[in-house]
Amino acid sequence: MLETRGSSYSLYINCGGNLVTDGKKTYDDDTGETTGPASFHNDRGKNWALINNGHLFDTDRVNYYNVTNSTKLVMENVELYMNARVSPTSLTYYGFCLGNGNYTVKLHFAEIMFTDDKTYSSLGRRVFDIYIQRNLVAKDFNIAKEAGGVGKAVIKNFTVVVTSNALEIRLYWAGKGTTSIPFRSVYGPLISAISVDPNFIPPSESGSSSISIIRVVVAVVVAGAIIILIFGILWWKRFLGWERSVGRGNHHEVN
């Protein structure tokens, strides 16, 4: 049974890897098994799920759909790129219960299955398409080419509109690139991490901001009232003093 939290305004997934904290962001663990030609995976309490379509006929590896880097990685936030999700055909992530509005979607990639040397393993090419909200946003995407080499990070940024509280990110292999380098069945989409942030102030934060503004306004009004009251008291005391002095003068004149 699919269970989710209440409304959310962000989403962070360490695809194929363990829980990772990067500053104020915590990337969810994504190490659950998705074996088989059509697999669905969702952890209780999380507002996302994934579907992995396609079967690797040329490999006997049990958990091929989660891979670990085979080269030395040198980049920021290296924990996000040490593991990855792969699929022979199609890999789709769904975000649920997202507040409607504009978001910045960042897809993190690093080619960690090929090598950067003169061996046979360096000849591999991974090519796939990227769809967000069922719209093609990147065709014939090649991770190593975009990053300037294997084992290097590249982040693709997209502005996305969520209108039905759901986000769909789909990576699709269209039959391009190599299929057996460095060994059989190395092809299809690969992704390291996903981050989704709102391009607006979420309601809870907006409410807090409104409360803060109201408090400032009230404080200013109260301070202004106090100042006016003080000036009024001083003026009244001065007026009384003047009135008394005038009264004494009139009394002397009568005498």
Pairing relation of β-strands 25-30 and 153-162? unpaired
What CA–CA distances, in Å, run from 97 to 21, 80, 165, 169, 251? 22, 24, 5, 15, 85
Please, what are the averages of pLDDT over each run of 10 residues along the chain (255 residues)? 64 96 92 64 78 72 75 86 94 95 98 86 92 98 95 97 96 91 84 98 62 56 73 66 56 50
Nearest to 191 by CA among 13, 21, 5: 13
Q: Which residue has the tokens 């990070």?
A: 153
241 membership: H or E segment, kind and range: helix 203-254
pTM > 0.85: no
For domain 11-200, which CATH number applies: 1.10.1060, 3.30.450, 2.40.10, 2.60.120?
2.60.120
